[in-house]
Structure 1
Amino acid sequence: MDQIATGIGGGGFFTLLLAGFIILSVFIAIRIVPQSEKHVVERFGRLKAVLGPGINFIVPFLDRVAHKVSILERQLPTASQDAITLDNVLVKVDTSVFYRILEPEKTVYRIRDVDGAIATTVAGIVRAEIGKMELDQVQSNRSALITTIKASVEDAVDAWGIEVTRAEILDVNLDQATRDAMLQQLNAERERRAQVTRAEGQKRAVELQADGDLYAAEQEAKAKRILAEAEAYSTAVIAEAIKESGLEAAQYQVALKQVDALNALGAGQGKQTIVLPAAALEAFGDAFKLLKGRG
């Protein structure tokens, strides 16, 4: 009876051990990968498979998950590097790069320090690209420079299974001596523009004055021309009257002129007493007779 109990007990232990082994194998074989990760599976030290998000199965005790790689977007720490522009200006450029791992099997087997490798690559590309541009171009074409840097970094890290999602130039700093020189240049440019503006204003004022003088001269000439035309017309009328009425019309016009002259003399200040020759008095008398006769 003791032998039978011992046999049954040994068989039960083996069964329990087998059941535990099966449960452990199933537990090892089932791999649940989070949405934000990919798992690299090795078999005897060699790449076997890459497990994506969800439920996956591997061969227990032969396969193992060697690397758990996050596929979330990452940001490199802000890096500063010196660069020299095409016009020999030393600048300090602050950059930041965002990337994510697309093919972890390339990343884990081809590069050890991903962040360090990308940072070094970015620094070299930034120095090379800024060296092709003058300082003014670096400041004004920052968007184009960022696009060029991003494309160059993508080409450099493609073999590592990495996608560069964004590259940013946060700031371009100058040394104090260069800043002072640029400030002096800026002040000089402002003064030059102010002088040009003043000169253009003075030129415009002279042009307007000349236009005004020309207009006044034209108006004066026009007035003289009109007056001359009026006098010519008056002369023509008088000539026609003389032609029709003879000497009497001529005497009438002379009488009018004499009366106008007398009125002008009498209107002057301090000329209330007028001494005229007798012949002049006779002429005025004849003029008044003619005027009276015309009236």
Structure 2
Amino acid sequence: MEPIIAIVLALIGYALGSAKLINQGNVALVERLGRYHRKLSPGLNFIVPLVDQIVMEDTTREQYIDIKPQNVITRDNIYLEVDAILYWRIKDIEKSFYAIDDLQGALVQLAHTTLREIIAQNTVEETNVSRSEMDRAILDQLNDTTSGWGVEIIRLDIQRITPPESVRKSMEEERAAEIKKRALISEAEGERQAAIKKAEGTMTSMQIIAEALRTNPESKEILRYLVAQDYINASYRLGESQNAKVVFVDPGKSGDLMKEMIAESTNIEGNGTPNGNGNT
């Protein structure tokens, strides 16, 4: 019985030594007698004890590396402090193990040099307005190198670009000036539109009055009353103003002036010319 028990125990030990459980999302590398043999997929796998050896097990899920703040000089010779996050994953575990030593350290150094190279091609203003374009350029350049390591760079997000205090103040002043400029332009455009609308309204009113005078001569007395009423209201508002000045007008002459204006408006509407005889 003892030999049988020994054989059973040996078989159990062999089974336990040869069975390897790989978790979902992971992949393992097996070497046989010091040479690459095969990959182990998630689930239950069996290897030959003492002959096969698992030399690496890593995840194929997305991972990230925090790129610490570093000083970068721009094309216009301004020093910036830049930090970012690099998202990556292993696509070929064999290459990631045999093609590069210290994979994460290599990714960090590559990200640093690529960041400096891309930002050095832009000015301070361009780094702030074209951040997404820089992200894509960095991503393309990184993947050109890391594809040989069996690694895919998913994205690189630049979190902060911090210029010196003097540059920040200059940029804030420039933005404030630009906002003020746009506000002044908008205000001027609004005033222009209001003046146009007012002129159009005045023209329409004059045409209506002229038509009424032409078709109904008795309405001249009504017009004189309205003009006199406006004159009184304007004088009242002028008197209320702190900067008002007293202006004396001869009532007799003002009445004659109103009559001439009414007559001229009637002639223009009726004949299309100022004097009614076709001469301008």
Into which bin does the TM-score normalised by the smaller protein fall?
0.5 to 0.7
List runs of 5+ in structure 1 lacking aligned partners: 1-11, 229-295
TM superposition score normalised by structure 2: 0.64
Q: 1:48 to 1:224 in 2, by over 3 A?
A: same
Match of 1:37 among 26, 45, 48: 26
Show structure 2 runs of 5+ residues with no match.
218-280
CA distance in 2, matches of 1:213, 1:46: 96
Take 2:122 and 2:192, find their aligned partners in 1: how far apart are those partners?
Answer: 40
Q: Encode CA deviations 1:145-190: one digit per residue, 9 max, x unaligned.
A: 3344333323321111122334322222222111100111122112
Over residues 65-122 of structure 1, what are the superposed CA-to-partner deviations in whole Å (9 max), with x where a residue is unaligned? 2222233432212432333445554432221122222322211222222222112222
SS at match of 1:203: helix
Report how far residue 125 of structure 1 moved: 2.4
Shift of residue 208 of structure 1?
4.0
SS in 1 for 2:89: strand
Matched to 2:115, the amino acid is: V
TM-score, length-scaled by structure 1 = 0.61
Deviates more, 1:51-60 or 1:84-93: 84-93
1:49 alignment partner, one of 38, 45, 64: 38
User: Does residue 1:74 correspond to 2:63, yes or no?
Assistant: yes
Change beyond 3 A, Cα 1:110–1:212: same
**Which residue of the other structure, out of 155, 165, 186, is the alignment partner of 1:197?**
186
Find the partner of 1:183 among 172, 184, 188.
Answer: 172
Aligned to 2:160: 171
| Residue 28 in structure 1 maps to residue 17 in structure 2 | yes
In 2, Cα distance between the equivalents of 1:205 and 1:15? 108
1:99-118 to 2 correspondences below 5 Å: 99-118=88-107
Q: Distance in 2 between matches of 1:30 and 1:216?
A: 99
2:117 alignment partner, one of 110, 123, 128: 128
Query: Would you say the 8 A contact 2:25–2:59 is kept in 1?
Result: yes
Partner residue in 2 for 1:154: 143
Matched position secondary structure for 1:112: coil
Does structure 1 conserve the Cα–Cα contact (< 8 Å) formed by 2:31 and 2:37? Answer: yes
Q: C-alpha separation between the residues in 2 aligned to 1:40 and 1:54?
A: 14
Report how many residues are paired.
219
Q: Matches of residues 77-88 of structure 1 in structure 2 within 5 Å?
A: 77-88=66-77
What is the rounded CA distance, in whole Å, between the counterparts of 1:97 and 1:112 in structure 2?
A: 19
CA contact (8 A) 1:97 1:168 kept: yes
- How far apart in 1 are the matches of 2:198 and 2:5? 116
Q: Distance in 1 between matches of 2:56 and 2:213?
A: 106
Letter in 2 for 1:75: Y
CA distance in 2, matches of 1:219, 1:20: 116
Equivalent residues in 2 for 1:84-103, closer than 5 Å: 84-103=73-92
Structure-2 change in CA distance of 1:200 and 1:39 (3 Å): closer
Task: Give yes or no for contact 1:84–1:91 (8 Å, CA) kept in 2.
Answer: yes
Preserved contact between residue 67 and residue 112 of structure 2 (Cα < 8 Å): no
> Amino acid of the residue matched to residue 164 of structure 2?
D
Aligned to 1:255: none
Higher gyration radius (CA): 1
**Contact between 1:79 and 1:119, CA under 8 Å: does it hold in 2?**
no
Whole-Å Cα distance in 2 between the matches of residues 205 and 67 of structure 1? 76
Which one-letter code corresponds to 1:95 in the other structure? A
**What is residue 238 of structure 1 aligned with on the other side?**
none
Relative to structure 1, is the Cα distance of residues 226 and 116 closer, same or farther in structure 2, using a 3 angstrom cutoff?
same
**Gap change, CA 1:90 and 1:16, over 3 Å in 2:** same
Identity of aligned residues (%): 27
